[in-house]
Amino acid sequence: MPFDLSKVKLERIEKGNSVRVEIRDKSTGELLEAYGEKVEPVITDVEAKNFVFPQNSGIYTTHTIYKERTDGAAVSRLYTVLTIYTYGSFRQIDKVNYTYWVEASSGPWELRDKYAITISRTGSFPTTAIETTGTATIVVTTNATVTGSFSIEYLKSIGFTVSYVNNNVYYLRKNISLTYVYSVY
């Protein structure tokens, strides 16, 4: 989603071989979006055992990327794990290893009906850009006496609907989706 740069604050957080970028509302400090990436070298078993690395050839790295979304206290992340080949200034995405959802916060909720796919933006692999799309359903289990971010009233106010009630236990649901593009250039 495009943001008005005069109304948001970007923060880049680096830790080791990982980086996280947070987009926050300047006036409230509310987290609007977050992205992350972790880069690790790919070393084959033969290379690791013999400590032999090809001369004058490129390198392969594994990039684990995600986009995060927050629905009250439920934080969900959509991950993509890629193998990228680099030789000098040349880069290409060789393959998608995995695409998956993760529950990134704790509480009385879970992700169900998870679906995620990553495609090449150029139509085939290797490529220079991918697009990841995912859908899921957040299911919260709560009761009428709970207050705060898992109260029934608050959850309804942020788009959850009651799907089932049994012995004062409420099950609330919200369908979510995320899409992002990753490019090596």
- Which one, of 148, 143, 74, lies nearest residue 107 by Cα? 74
H helix or E strand, kind and range, residue 86: strand 74-87
Query: What pLDDT does residue 2 have?
Result: 77
Query: What pLDDT does residue 50 have?
Result: 52
Query: What pLDDT does residue 44 have?
Result: 60
Task: Assess if residue 28 is contained within a domain.
Answer: yes
Query: What pLDDT does residue 57 have?
Result: 81
Task: Assess if residue 2 is contained within a domain.
Answer: no
| Through-space distance between the first and last CA atoms of the chain, rounded to whole angstroms | 20
Task: Assess if residue 124 is contained within a domain.
Answer: yes
Query: What pLDDT does residue 118 have?
Result: 98
Q: What are phi and psi of 155, to 5 degrees?
A: -60, -40
Task: Assess if residue 1 is contained within a domain.
Answer: no
Query: What pLDDT does residue 46 have?
Result: 52
Task: Assess if residue 3 is contained within a domain.
Answer: no
Task: Assess if residue 120 is contained within a domain.
Answer: yes
Alpha helical stretches, state H, the chain: 45-50, 152-157
Query: What pLDDT does residue 45 have?
Result: 54
Query: What pLDDT does residue 43 have?
Result: 74
Range of the domain at 42: 8-183
Q: What is the number of structural domains in the chain? A: 1
Query: What pLDDT does residue 122 have?
Result: 95
At 165, the amino acid letter reads V
Task: Assess if residue 129 is contained within a domain.
Answer: yes
* Pair of tokens at residue 40: 């690790």
Query: What pLDDT does residue 81 have?
Result: 98
Q: What are phi and psi of 164, to 5 degrees?
A: -165, 145
Q: What is the pLDDT along the chain (185 residues), one digit of tens a residue?
A: 578 999 999 999 999 999 999 999 999 998 889 999 999 998 765 554 555 545 568 899 999 999 999 999 999 999 999 999 999 999 999 999 999 999 999 999 999 999 999 999 999 999 999 999 999 999 999 999 999 999 999 999 999 999 999 999 999 999 999 999 999 99
- Which one, of 67, 61, 83, lies nearest residue 31 by Cα? 67
pTM above 0.85, yes or no: yes
